[in-house]
């Protein structure tokens, strides 16, 4: 098969490209230029898409003896990921830009361009596994399923939960059966200069990690009240968009609780520019409604099904029951009933459903609450 290997300049994508070559594929390396003003150097382990990263990717491609190209997708990334991120926070939601990047850039824009140029599929350095199962109803009699990686500490199936069956059919994740330490050892054995390069983390387009400050520069300061669940003013904030449900630090409250217990952000309302705080027990929710539903590698479940629900990229899996609601011609909604209450669930986050290690699908959380009693 003719494969586009997405090469970020890191160790994972370097080894992924090498493994695809060894599997007998015709591989071309592609680095995505996502920053409109790429920095020359990385800031510690934060950020990505610097000129240094592009150079690292090119050196790996040269060592592998494969063609290498840089594809400029900065404008598409700005529109589909960065502007979406800002708009979601402005609306009082907490988005996950990595899921949006996978959905809109790496497995849409990149994959679409690769297919248009005659390639068959895309390979990335994500830690996840694709398992093929016999299915007479699927193309070529085989259904491809997305499963967790063997390394639970590096598993990235959560941020891939937005892939649909067509995208999954043209995606390869050659690192899913290996732990990270072995990937670094393999990179060193192959003579890759990136073998000890630190992993990038946090939000790639906020290199200093200061999300609140970054948002304030784009949305402006909008001072407003921080109140308790009875409406008593406890402090002031610089903009409700800078806070998320479950947040404890950085509240700057002027009125402490009687017993000294901490308060947490319970909800935000960008229309009234109000942040509501309260005790930890007010954070617990067990019913989640999600929209923008995506089914990964198979049709939606019929009726209520037992699933594991993951609410954060590296969060625990919660036992739950899920079903789909449809009303006339409106888009389907996903209803997830958790067996036990959990805290810190915010609109805009994603819920990804699992059946064992298999990813069933995902949705963007629209609301979270409690079942009476």
Enter the tokens of residue 175.
């690192």
Q: Is 48 a catalytic residue?
A: no
CA–CA dist 21, 4 (Å, integer) = 11
Q: Which of 49, 98, 101, 296 is catalytic?
A: 101
Beta strands in the chain (DSSP E): 2-6, 26-33, 68-72, 121-123, 128-134, 142-148, 171-172, 224-227, 233-237, 264-269, 274-278, 285-295, 305-310, 317-325, 333-342, 350-355, 358-369
Q: Is 296 a catalytic residue?
A: no
For residue 160, which of 180, 130, 139, 131 has the smallest C-alpha distance?
A: 130
For residue 222, which of 153, 278, 164, 271 has the smallest C-alpha distance?
A: 271
Q: Is 246 left (phi over 0), alpha (psi -120 to 50) or beta?
A: left
For residue 11, which of 48, 57, 63, 64 has the smallest C-alpha distance?
A: 57
Q: Which residue has the tokens 């009875």?
A: 230
Enter the tokens of residue 328.
């006339």
Q: Which of 48, 49, 98, 204 is catalytic?
A: 204
Enter the tokens of residue 21.
């070559």
Report residue 87 CA to chain centroid gap: 17
CA–CA dist 136, 365 (Å, integer) = 34
For residue 25, which of 68, 66, 58, 57 has the smallest C-alpha distance?
A: 66
Query: Could you list the active site residues?
Result: 101, 204
């Amino acid at each position: 098969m003719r494969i586009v290997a997405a090469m970020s300049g890191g160790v994972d994508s370097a080894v992924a490209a090498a493994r695809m070559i060894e599997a007998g594929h015709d591989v071309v390396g592609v680095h995505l230029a996502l920053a409109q003003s790429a920095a020359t150097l990385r800031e510690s382990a934060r950020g990505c898409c610097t000129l240094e990263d592009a150079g690292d990717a090119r050196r790996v491609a040269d060592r592998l003896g494969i063609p290498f190209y840089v594809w400029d997708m900065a404008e598409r990334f700005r529109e589909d990921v960065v502007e979406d991120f800002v708009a979601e926070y402005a609306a009082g939601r907490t988005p996950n830009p990595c899921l949006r990047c996978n959905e809109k850039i790496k497995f849409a824009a990149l994959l679409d361009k690769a297919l248009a140029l005659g390639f068959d599929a895309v390979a990335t350095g994500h830690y996840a596994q694709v398992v093929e199962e016999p299915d007479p109803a699927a193309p070529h009699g085989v259904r491809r399923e997305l499963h967790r990686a063997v390394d639970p500490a590096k598993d990235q199936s959560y941020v891939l939960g937005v892939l649909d069956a067509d995208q999954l059919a043209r995606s390869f994740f050659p690192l899913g059966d290996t732990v990270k330490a072995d990937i670094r050892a393999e990179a060193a054995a192959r003579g890759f200069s990136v073998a000890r390069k630190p992993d990038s983390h946090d939000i790639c387009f906020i290199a200093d990690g200061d999300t609140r400050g970054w948002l304030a520069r784009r949305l402006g300061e909008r001072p407003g009240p921080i109140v308790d669940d009875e409406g008593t003013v406890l402090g002031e904030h610089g903009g409700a968009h800078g806070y998320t449900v479950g947040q404890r630090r950085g509240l700057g409250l002027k009125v402490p609780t009687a017993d000294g217990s901490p308060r947490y952000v319970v909800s935000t309302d960008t229309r009234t520019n109000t942040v509501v705080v309260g005790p930890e027990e007010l954070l617990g929710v067990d019913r989640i409604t999600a929209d923008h539903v995506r089914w990964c590698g198979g049709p939606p479940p019929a009726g209520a099904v037992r699933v594991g629900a993951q609410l954060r990229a590296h969060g625990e899996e919660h036992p739950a029951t899920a079903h789909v609601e449809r009303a006339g011609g409106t888009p389907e909604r996903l209803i997830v009933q958790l067996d036990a209450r959990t805290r810190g669930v915010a609109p805009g986050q994603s819920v990804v459903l699992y059946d064992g290690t298999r990813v069933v699908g995902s949705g963007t959380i629209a609301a979270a609450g409690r079942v009476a009693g």
